[in-house]
Amino acid sequence: MNSIHDLGGMHGLGAIAAETNEPPFHEPWEGRAAGILEVMTFPAGFTVDRFRYLRETLRPDLYLTQSYYEQWLYIAEQALLEAGMIAPDELAAGRVAPGGDRRDDAMRAGTVWGFLHDRGNSARDLPAAPRFASGQQVRARNVQPVGHTRLPRYARGKTGHVIRLHGGHVLPDASAHGGGECPQHLYTVAFAARELWGEAAHARDTIHLDLWESYLEPA
């Protein structure tokens, strides 16, 4: 998505302030929010790609100022509102509307471990052979998608070479918008830092990106 949410390589934001000995959570509520969102009942068919896309629907000013787990709570709210699992007035009040039906589809304790460790495998078998081979020069396509994508702006139109083939994987661009899995071959592509950032970048630095086949073209 072309917006403030694609921060990689964007100028003018200053250096990243790395926190020494950063704790997993800065406030107790963050740990609680993380736990709830890991095992909450999301709408049927909800995917990690839809999760990421909903985060990208945050207003730019909020995206830049909210903490990580504030954004997670926003995602959960939007997912439940979209599916009609909660109503806006219930969200505002923080409780079920008077006379509303009480849900009974919460995840049970005995299923949490399997859910956390067995979900999320995006690998899929593909009948077609990969279009690109290890060592081949490729160019990231210069496209301007209006929805979710895993192709960062700073790599578009830039040339690198394939260093690894990962087989077929679910295409995030389709999965995020309810378009099915549409699996494609996935590659790790190496880009010289100077190809991406210009002569100011260190000559020995390389950036590795995992990119789907439709993101690439022969160089």
What per-residue confidence (pLDDT) applies to 9? 67
Q: Are residues 69 and 106 in the same domain?
A: yes
Residue 172 lies in a domain: yes
Asked, for residue 6, whether it belongs to a domain, the answer is: no
Q: Are residues 37 and 59 in the same domain?
A: yes
Residue 73 belongs to some domain of the structure: yes
Please report the beta strands in 65-136, taking only residues with DSSP state E, as ranges in sequence order. Answer: 123-124
Asked if the model's pLDDT at residue 213 lies above 90, the reply is yes
**182 and 111 belong to one structural domain:** no
Question: pLDDT digit string (tens) for 161-185?
Answer: 999 999 999 999 999 999 999 999 9
Enter the pTM of the model.
Answer: 0.88
Residues 110 and 131 in one domain: no
Is 9 part of any domain? no
- Within-domain flag for 180: yes
Is residue 95 located within the same domain as residue 163?
no
Same domain, 149 and 64: no
Residue 108: how many other CB atoms lie within 10 Å: 9
Q: Is residue 19 part of a domain?
A: no
pLDDT digits (tens, 9 = 90+) for 93-135: 988 888 877 778 788 888 888 877 777 789 999 999 999 999 9
CA angle 63, 85, 173 (to 5 degrees): 50
| Number of domains composing the chain | 2
Among 118, 144, 178, which residue terminates a domain?
A: 118
Parent domain of 99: 28-118
pLDDT, tens only, 12-38: 778 878 899 999 999 999 999 998 888
Which residues make beta-bridge pairs with 216? 140
